[in-house]
Structure 1
Amino acid sequence: MTEQVSIFVKMLIPQKPLAVKEAQSVIIPARNGPYQVLPRRAPAMKLLCDGAVVLTGTDQGRNETYFISAGIAKIRDNACTILTHNVVKSDEVDIDDVRKKLAAFRDKEEKGDQLDELERKKAAFLQMIAGHFAK
């Protein structure tokens, strides 16, 4: 009988640890494309872009999806630590609120106002979330 090995996943934002879970595998949005992390893999560091982190086979026995902004993933010893500025669980997304915020950014641009770098990053993050729900 084989022992089932899981991956310990931590998602950290500057203020605090946001999610700490066990999963059978993790798919992260690496800069060079989606990257699947499985148990017993070699250590690695990955640059992350805005995208979805998918935890498969969590301790509740289901898949969980989180949206993250760009960051870094450290993979080592059956653990995956994700450092990022924004994490939103897909179950907690209010898509109407996301669309309202995106519309506000578009209105500002249409009036000729330039979005600063932080606003552009927020708009890109919201657009990524909206695109996921449009599928």
Structure 2
Amino acid sequence: MTVALEIISPERLLLARPVSMVVIPGTEGDLGVLPGHSQMITSLRGGLIDLYEDEKLVDRFFVSGGFAQITEERCTVLADAIVKLAELDPLKAADELAAAEAAWREADEADEAGWRAASDRLITAQARVDAVSAQNA
């Protein structure tokens, strides 16, 4: 049995194919989606989406955030931004992390929305650097 996986970015349908399992970075932790999964909608944090076929990891993507809708037969990922893991640039990821750290340090905690945006940016930038490190490990 398989799960029908669709990954949609703001620009286009990036991927539509059956997989044995997909692991997505939910905001409350990673979720492994297998056929027959309970229905749910979850928000995504920055992190890796792993695609499996016959218990073998076949593809990896970095997602900056978004949402996923899961049913017994389907997993639809609506990504804010997504890129194949192999296409991540380590230098750009490091620069983005440095900029996000600076913005977070300068954020005013009294401005809840601004502080939250700076925190989210920092979390995503750190996840991007971690993903690059995982790729090179």
| Structure whose alpha-carbon radius of gyration is higher | 1
- Paired residues in the alignment total 127
CA distance in 2, matches of 1:42, 1:100: 39
- For structure 2, the residue ranges without an aligned partner over 5 or more in a row are 109-113
- For structure 1, the residue ranges without an aligned partner over 5 or more in a row are none
CA 1:96 to 1:114, structure 2 compared with 1: closer, same or farther past 3 Å? same
CA RMSD of aligned residues (A): 2.8
Match of 2:123 in 1: 124
- Structure with the higher helix share, 1 or 2: 2
Match of 2:83 in 1: 88
Q: After superposition, what is the alpha-carbon deviation per residue over 1:53-93, rounded to whole angstroms, capped at 9, x for unaligned?
A: 111118xx642111112222111241100112111110111
Secondary structure of the residue aligned to 1:14 is coil
CA distance in 2, matches of 1:17, 1:50: 19
CA distance in 1, matches of 2:5, 2:39: 14
Match of 2:6 in 1: 10
Tell whether 2:64 aligns with 1:65: no
CA 1:121 to 1:44, structure 2 compared with 1: closer, same or farther past 3 Å? closer
Q: TM-score, normalised by structure 1?
A: 0.74
CA distance in 2, matches of 1:81, 1:45: 9
Letter in 1 for 2:62: F
- Per-residue deviation at 1:119? 6.6
Amino-acid identity (%): 22
CA distance in 1, matches of 2:30, 2:72: 20
Asked if 1 retains the 8 angstrom alpha-carbon contact of 2:46 and 2:128, the reply is no
95, 98, 113: which one pairs with 2:93? 98
